[in-house]
Amino acid sequence: MRLAALFLALPLFAADYDVLIRNARVVDGSGNPWFRADVAVKDGRIAAVGKLADATARRTIDAHERIVAPGFIDVHTHVEGNVERNPRGDNFLLDGVTTVITGNCGSSQLNLAAWFDRLQKLGLGLNVASFVGHNSVRSEVMGAANRQATPEEIAKMQALVDRAMRDGAVGFSTGLEYVPGTYANTAEIVALARTAAARGGVYASHMRDEGIHEIEAITEAVEVGKQAGMPVEISHLKIDRRRVWGASGKSLALIERYRAEGVDVVVDQYPYDRASTNLGIRLPSWALADGKIKERLADPATRSKIAGEMKQNLADMGEPDYGFATVSRFASNTAYEGKTIPEISALKGRAAGLDGQIETIFDLMNAGGASMIYKLMGDADIERIMRHPFTAVASDGGVQQAGAGNPHPRSYGTNARVLGEYVRTRGVLTLEDAIRRMTSLPARTFRLRDRGLVREGMAADLVIFDPARVEDRATYAKPHQFSAGFDFVLVNGKVAVDQGKPTDARGGQPLRH
């Protein structure tokens, strides 16, 4: 009797695979054209790719000729502070993302060992890797001091970088437009980058400038990589000044020249014409030193000096006023979220014009600042940067809480937007090339050696979608909309999206370099 039961149960236990995806068109991430195959998953790995007619599995998914591709690797995210509250990361999963690299733009966790342990316990939906960020390291050692670091301070910062690298960071990131990173000279960055390079790190930079002085900024980023002896990833490459729209050709030509000279430099980009960052970036950086913006704004002479520099900066940008600037998050008054600075100025009863708008910005800064969306980029530059062969697709987004604030839609729609808008509608990229930029290109840059390709032995991070249907739904006006079309997403072999619906599989894990 017991023996019979055992035999009856055997076929169930003896299934060849955990998951078997049949009738797929595989876009394997290499950039090569699709091919027909079945894909089998076992113990979190891709176990077989080919004709698997006789195979059995505990779960069979019929792809019905849809595309099976590697799960997307988003190398430019900011998930710290939000992934802890929403560890599944549905906005990423439903956009096909299975791995994020966070800690970008100089801002990261400092104790990565503790943070990774915490995430592991929470149960991640996505794989999470991290940089160690310059701004975080500098704040820890020097606060928001507007001066050069002393040799002792450099040594302390190096020790923090070294610990984070030993804890598994993929490299060192900078945010040189932000306080306090902006106060550092190139020598300081090289000194810290060397520490990361000694443990195999990559240098990722939100450069000092992304518009008028971009050529100098690219040169600095490459110089850091050359001197420290490490590859360089230029973050979210763009031209963010209307006055110099079109200059991306020069930036890309310079990057090409450095590559020809033997420097390993690549870039990433989000497919949108608006940027998103804090409000403070509109003020001269000296005004933010030591966290004393309120004191400076309270002094009439300093206040008018700040206003004067802001007007000059606007003129340099080629913007007539702050109509390009929309509040995305303002904790003190959520009624301002989704409104531009001129609109908020009018709500406050101020006369139209730049002076009133600057006063409004000062009000917001005095109330603790705001998160913003800035319309700054032109279509021609976006497409030119996207076509460059070494541009990875990356969101610059974070994990979102449905309905909270008015965030940039890139957190929800980056990959679907590239596949829908830039592949299907505009024909800027082929499907295979777009997938390569979401998978094997980022995996290659950050040495995620077992991800980014549909090959036997690789981690079973997979997406299944119909290229005729995939589309981003998140807009600037209504950002909290999941992408459509990613019918199945597997993370380390676990089904994280099942027929378009997120599950609670929590297949993700921290990825320690």
CB 107 → Zn ion: shortest distance, Å?
9
Return d(Cα 430, Cα 419) in angstroms, integer.
Answer: 9
Nearest residue (CB) to Zn ion, 29 versus 180: 180
Nearest residue (CB) to Zn ion, 86 versus 173: 173
CB 79 → Zn ion: shortest distance, Å?
14
Return d(Cα 165, Cα 461) in angstroms, integer.
Answer: 25
CB 275 → Zn ion: shortest distance, Å?
8
Assess 207 for contact with Zn ion (CB under 5 A). no
Nearest residue (CB) to Zn ion, 105 versus 149: 105
CB 87 → Zn ion: shortest distance, Å?
23
Return d(Cα 239, Cα 215) in angstroms, integer.
Answer: 11
Return d(Cα 334, Cα 52) in angstroms, integer.
Answer: 55
- Helix H, strand E, coil C: the string for 11-69 is HHHCCCEEEEEEEEEECCCCCCCCEEEEEEEECCEEEEEECCCCCCEEEEEECCCCEEE
Nearest residue (CB) to Zn ion, 206 versus 410: 206
> Considering only residues 78, 206, 282, 480, which one is a binding residue for Zn ion as defined by CB under 5 A?
206
| Stretch of residues binding Zn ion (CB under 5 A), selected from 198-206, 265-273, 367-375, 499-507 | 198-206
CB 36 → Zn ion: shortest distance, Å?
40
Entry field: residues in the chain:
513
Nearest residue (CB) to Zn ion, 105 versus 169: 105
CB 76 → Zn ion: shortest distance, Å?
8
Assess 105 for contact with Zn ion (CB under 5 A). yes
Between the CA of residue 6 and those of 16, 185, 408, what are the distances in Å? 18, 70, 55
Between the CA of residue 79 and those of 87, 207, 423, 487, what are the distances in Å? 10, 20, 27, 24
Assess 361 for contact with Zn ion (CB under 5 A). no
Structure tokens at 492: 């380390």
Residue spans of alpha helices (H) in 88-185: 90-93, 112-122, 134-142, 151-166
Nearest residue (CB) to Zn ion, 105 versus 310: 105
Return d(Cα 418, Cα 16) in angstroms, integer.
Answer: 36
Amino acid, res. 263: V
Q: Could you give the string, one character per residue 52-91, with x where binding to Zn ion holds by CB under 5 A and - elsewhere?
A: ----------------------------------------
Nearest residue (CB) to Zn ion, 399 versus 491: 399
Nearest to 192 by CA among 175, 166, 171, 177: 171
| Stretch of residues binding Zn ion (CB under 5 A), selected from 65-73, 97-105, 363-371, 499-507 | 97-105
User: Residues interacting with Zn ion, by CB under 5 A?
Assistant: 105, 206
